[in-house]
Amino acid sequence: MSLIITLKVNGAPVTREIAPATLLVEFLREELRLTGTHVGCDTAQCGACTVHVNGQAVKSCNMLAAQVHGAEVTTIEGLAAKNGELHPMQVAFNDCHGLQCGFCTPGMVMSAVDLVQNHPHATEAQIREGLDGNFCRCTGYQNIVKAVQQGAKAMGV
């Protein structure tokens, strides 16, 4: 048995036939080859798989692809402008050295964008709490917090 889903991914219409048990992260990585969405834990604990569904951050390892039928999905690849200019949050992570190995970075950036859109004037404590579901094993988070603060200013939300 299979399902046909239709959605928008990074602004482009997509229609695919999928198995009902296909996870959104599998669909994005294996079917659409959008490998910026990382698989870290498969249990929705680490946040490496975070994408936006209809503008809200979700952990794609914890959602079936069938659940996004009719939705708009944005991955880290779709965050930058069409001309290739990086999103202000991506620039801030780079400028503030908010990354080291880079494995958590796509999910962290996607979560940070959602956080800032919902809480544009978040304090350091609120940023730390807002990123609680995203694990970084390298940085110690201080530069990530600085990146979110800089990204928020640059986003001008």
pLDDT tens, 50-95? 999 999 999 999 999 999 999 999 999 999 999 999 999 999 999 9
What pLDDT was estimated at residue 107?
95
Mark whether 70 and 98 lie in a shared domain. Answer: no
User: What distance in Å separates the CA atoms of residue 131 and residue 140, rounded to the nearest whole number?
Assistant: 13
Q: Are residues 31 and 98 in the same domain?
A: no
Task: State which of 79, 96, 111 marks the end of a domain.
Answer: 79
Do 22 and 40 fall into the same domain?
Answer: yes
Q: Structural domain of residue 102, as residue ranges?
A: 88-155
CATH number of the structural domain spanning residue 8: 3.10.20.30
DSSP string, the chain: --EEEEEEETTEEEEEEE-TT-BHHHIIIIIS--TTS--S-SSSSS-TTEEEETTEEEEGGGSBGGGGTT-EEE-HHHHS-TTSPPPHHHHHHHHTT--SS-SSHHHHHHHHHHHHHH-TT--HHHHHHHTTT---SSS-SHHHHHHHHHHHHHHT-
Q: Which token pair is 127?
A: 């940023």
Please give the share of the chain, as a percent, with pLDDT higher than 90: 84
- Does pTM surpass 0.95? no
- As a whole number, the mean pLDDT across the chain is 95
CATH number of domain containing 126: 1.10.150.120
Rounded to an integer, the average pLDDT of 88-111 is 94
36 pLDDT more than 80: yes
Q: What's the average model confidence in pLDDT over 110-130?
A: 95
- Select from 28, 56, 79 the last residue of a domain: 79
Beta bridge partners of 7: 14
* Residue finishing a domain among 61, 79, 97: 79
Whether the predicted pLDDT of 157 surpasses 80: no
> What is the average pLDDT across 21-45?
94
